[in-house]
A = this chain, B = another copy of it.
Amino acid sequence: MSTAFDVWAPKANNMRLLANGFEQQMVRGEQGWWHAPEPVPGEAEYGYLIDDAAHAVPDPRSRRQPAGVHGLSRTFNPDAFSWTDQDWASPGLTGGAIYELHIGTFTPEGTLDAAAQRLDYLAELGVQYVELMPVNAFNGHHNWGYDGVLWYAVQETYGGPEAYQRFVDQAHAHGLGVIQDVVYNHLGPSGNYLNLFGPYLNEAAATGWGDAVNLDGPQSDHVRQYILDNLEMWFRDYHVDGLRLDAVHALRDERALHILEEMAALTDDLSAELGGSLFLIAESDINNPRVITPRSLNGYGLAAQWSDDFHHAAHTNLTGETDGYYADFDSLAALAKVLQHGFFHDGSYSSFRGRSHGRPLDKSVHNARQLVVATQNHDQIGNRAAGDRLTAGLGYEQLALAAVLNLASSCTPMIFMGEEFGASTPWQFFTSHPEEDLGKATAEGRMLEFARMGWDPALVPDPQDPQTFENSKLDWSEIAVGRHPFLLQLYRQLLHLRRTMPELSEPDFRKIEVDFDEVSRWLSIRRGKVLVALNFADSPRELPLPLEGPVTVVLETAPSLTADGAIELPGYGAAIVSGV
A210 interfacial by beta-carbon distance below 8 Å:
no
A202 interfacial by beta-carbon distance below 8 Å:
no
CB proximity of A42 to chain B, nearest CB, Å: 38
Decide: B221 and A256 in contact? CB cutoff 8 A. Answer: no
- Closest residue to A291 on the B side, CB-wise? B256
Given contacts A297-B297, A298-B293, contact A287 B357 (CB under 8 A): no
CB proximity of A247 to chain B, nearest CB, Å: 13
A257 to B288, CA, bound (A): 8
Decide: B221 and A355 in contact? CB cutoff 8 A. Answer: yes
Task: Note all chain B residues with C-beta closer than 8 A to A358.
Answer: 256
CB proximity of A520 to chain B, nearest CB, Å: 33
Task: Note all chain B residues with C-beta closer than 8 A to A216.
Answer: 355
Task: Note all chain B residues with C-beta closer than 8 A to A357.
Answer: 255-256
A549 interfacial by beta-carbon distance below 8 Å:
no
Task: Note all chain B residues with C-beta closer than 8 A to A277.
Answer: none
Decide: A256 and B349 in contact? CB cutoff 8 A. Answer: no
- Closest residue to A343 on the B side, CB-wise? B256
A299 to B254, CA, bound (A): 15
A482 interfacial by beta-carbon distance below 8 Å:
no
A452 interfacial by beta-carbon distance below 8 Å:
no
Decide: B256 and A359 in contact? CB cutoff 8 A. Answer: yes
CB proximity of A112 to chain B, nearest CB, Å: 36
- Residue-wise interface mask of A (145-165) relative to B, using a CB-CB cutoff of 8 A (1 in contact, 0 not): 000000000000000000000
- Closest residue to A252 on the B side, CB-wise? B254
Given contacts A298-B290, A298-B298, contact A353 B218 (CB under 8 A): yes
A422 interfacial by beta-carbon distance below 8 Å:
no
A249 interfacial by beta-carbon distance below 8 Å:
yes
A354 to B216, CA, bound (A): 9
CB proximity of A580 to chain B, nearest CB, Å: 42
CB proximity of A152 to chain B, nearest CB, Å: 22
Task: Note all chain B residues with C-beta closer than 8 A to A293.
Answer: 298
Decide: B221 and A289 in contact? CB cutoff 8 A. Answer: no
A3 interfacial by beta-carbon distance below 8 Å:
no
Q: Give me the interface of A with B, judged by CB distance under 8 Å.
A: 216-221, 249, 254-257, 286-290, 293, 297-299, 347, 349, 353-359
20 of the cross-chain contacts (CB-CB < 8 Å) are A216-B355, A217-B354, A218-B355, A219-B355, A220-B354, A249-B254, A254-B286, A255-B286, A255-B357, A256-B286, A256-B288, A256-B290, A256-B347, A256-B357, A256-B358, A257-B359, A290-B298, A293-B298, A297-B298, A298-B299
